Amino acid sequence: MSELRLMAVHAHPDDESSKGAATMARYVDQGVRVKVVTLTGGERGDILNPAMDLPEVHGRIHEIRIDEMARAAEILGVEHEWLGFIDSGLPEGDPLPPLPDGCFALVPLAESTERLVRSIREFKPHVLTTYDENGGYPHPDHIRCHEVSMAAYEAAGDYRLYPDAGAPWNISKLYYTHGFLRKRMQLFQDEFAKNGELGPFEKWLKDWDPELDVTANRITTSVECAKYFAKRDDALRAHATQIDPKSFFFTTPMEWQQRLWPTEEYELARSRVPATLPEDDLFAGIDP
């Protein structure tokens, strides 16, 4: 097995299309095998597209999201696997309500780790992408996705752990995805102003939490993938219950995005091969 392989681990269907999708499409185009592992079915996701807010959709949200994920995977050209856990939902209120019984965030870490280890040992990825310790945002499933990914990265190569989950496999590199960056939003907002338009990021920038800027300082790797931004957007729109085609995701003209910010950003969090930073390739230093 000499071809390069990339595994992207995500909490819910649609996460793969909003975080690193253009990177995956680029690598697929280069002949890399790419697999998305979705930990939950998104059963408790809200309907965020008003056009899909229909009674018949509410009753079939899980089934519909399965179909949406299949379409997005087809657009990106990636392989896909459901790990089979139940969406925890995003708790709201003060105080926060308890998480529902049986949801992913409450499954014992060893159980969810074993399932991901089994997938890793079967696919044998050289690179794994996931979320940082904050989950990208504090959804319980995103935070648990980080915990499970890190545990599986360490366990997959250890023959003593989960011996019934396949032959050991060491992943060479693990990355965190970093997408929502203030500098990127400000760049686009300024471009709208130059063209006499009111940009969509004004409120985001006004309410920006300075703590988030710490993330930007952790970026090690920028992958040029502007050619695949349109494919990323098509994959996003495939998740019709979750993505309003009139939302801010699609407001910035494609030409501006490709010219002003043609990359997707990552943080090299673990590596078993020598790395020279900064990088422009997730597979830098890997000899399959």
- Provide the annotated binding site for Zn(2+): 12, 15, 142
Written as one letter, the residue type at 221 is T
CA distances from 135 to 44, 75, 125, 144, 148 (A): 18, 25, 22, 8, 11
Query: Between β-strands 127-130 and 5-10, what pairing exists: parallel, antiparallel or unpaired?
Result: parallel
Question: 126 with 8: CB under 8 angstroms?
Answer: no
Q: Return d(Cα 226, Cα 229) in angstroms, integer.
A: 5
Tokens found for residue 274: 């020598």
Reported in sequence order, the residue ranges of the chain that DSSP labels E, i.e. its strands, are 5-10, 33-40, 79-85, 127-130, 173-178, 221-224, 263-271
Write the CB contacts of 32 (distance below 8 Å, at least 6 apart in sequence): 3, 4, 5, 6, 283
Question: Which residue ranges are tagged as binding site?
Answer: 12, 15, 142
